[in-house]
Amino acid sequence: MADIGFDGKVAIITGAGGGLGRCHALELAKRGCRIVVNDLGGSVSGEGGSEGPAHDVVREIEALGGEAVADASSVATPEGGEAIVQAALDAFGTVDIVINNAGILRDKSFHNMTPDLLEPVLDVHLKGAFYVTQPAWKVMREKNYGRVINTASNAGILGNFGQANYGAAKMGLWGFTKVLAQEGAKHNIKANAIAPVAKTRMTEQLLGPLGDKLEPELVTPVVVWLAHEDCDVTGEAYSIAGGQVSRFFVGRTPGYYKHDLTAEDVRDHFAEIRAEDGYSVPGGINDELRLLLDVLKD
Ligand code: NAI
């Protein structure tokens, strides 16, 4: 089968001045994609800023014979999102792929979390994805083509101590992904999420010796496939680490039904409500409503 190529396509990758975003940018560029390398160039906790990292990655892409432009706007404001998409339109005339990857960490256990630890994390991860994707969405709807990849995290999907802010933002991105998948369906726009684990500046202190097996380059192949026009899945989330790829999904247990349900019924049937045997994976709320109608019709 032919290699996965991106000739003629344009991708915006946020936070691509280092870590995972840089790997995605280099690999897509090698495969013929033109890239907007966005990066604010701040610290892991989101302080400061520099145009350096975005420009450095553009130089790396050019050295490989690829095409890229740098953008140092913040994803965390509507104006920043507009500027990033405008950079793609000015340089390349369109946008086909948005990879929302920019991120910061401000970890603290919940009882000590303060608004200055919450708001910037929601702004960059969750609102940032809105602000960048929305102006790109307009272009994608008009051309009837688009691919959106949101960087979620197992810290949201599964939970992680000290990351109430980050986990909430990352799980919010999964809801965002699922809604975009439905709204994009008739415009040939696919939206998926990834939950990566990789050794980057964000995680190098946390992963210990396992980190050496978790190269960020091993996350990128999934991103490349999800960004490609031949990949027609949408509304899904993938766990990716060190070459292992799996799908996360939301399952619904068959549960328990009684037309005059009481609290005592819930207590007495709690094991049945929770039992995972025979679970289903509804694709959207209509799927769940159909399951409900089956039960409630009698
Ligand atoms: P990283 O710190 O190397 O990359 C994040 C990049 O985002 C940085 O280059 C930073 O300058 C940029 N950035 C931060 N705020 C920005 C803003 N307002 N506007 C534009 N750019 C901004 O860390 P890494 O690990 O590469 O993270 C990439 C994404 O993957 C993040 O969303 C992170 O939360 C997510 N992630 C990473 C995991 C890992 O194991 N490394 C685990 C789960 C999720």
- Contacts (Cβ under 8 Å, ≥6 apart) of 163: 105, 107, 155, 156
Q: Please, are residues 128 and 68 in contact by the beta-carbon 8 Å criterion?
A: no
Cβ of 102 less than 6 Å from ligand 1 = yes
Q: Please, are residues 54 and 108 in contact by the beta-carbon 8 Å criterion?
A: no
* 187: DSSP letter: G
Q: Which fold has domain 10-248?
A: Rossmann fold (3.40.50)
CA atoms in the 13 A half-sphere facing the CB of 36: 33
Characterize the bridge pairing of strands 97-100 and 146-151: parallel
Characterize the bridge pairing of strands 34-38 and 68-71: parallel
- CATH architecture under which domain 250-298 falls: Orthogonal Bundle (1.10)
Model pLDDT for residues 82-141, shown as the tens digit of each residue: 999 999 999 999 999 999 999 999 999 999 999 999 999 999 999 999 999 999 999 999
Return the ligand 1 atom nearest residue 44 CA: 2
Among the listed residues 166, 238, 256, 279, the single catalytic one is: 166
Return the ligand 1 atom nearest residue 75 CA: 19
Ligand 1 mean position, distance from CA 150 (Å): 12
Domain with CATH 3.40.50.720 in the chain: 10-248
Indicate the pTM of the whole model: 0.97
- Tell me: pLDDT of 272 over 80: yes
Cβ of 81 less than 6 Å from ligand 1 = no
Instruction: Check if 131 is active-site.
Output: no
Mean pLDDT of the chain: 97
H or E segment at 41? none
Ligand 1 mean position, distance from CA 262 (Å): 47
**Look-up: residue for tokens 């603290």?**
108
Q: Residue 145 CB: number of other CB atoms within 10 A?
A: 18
pLDDT of residue 206: 87
In single-letter form, the type of residue at position 276 comes to E
Domain with CATH 1.10.287.4290 in the chain: 250-298
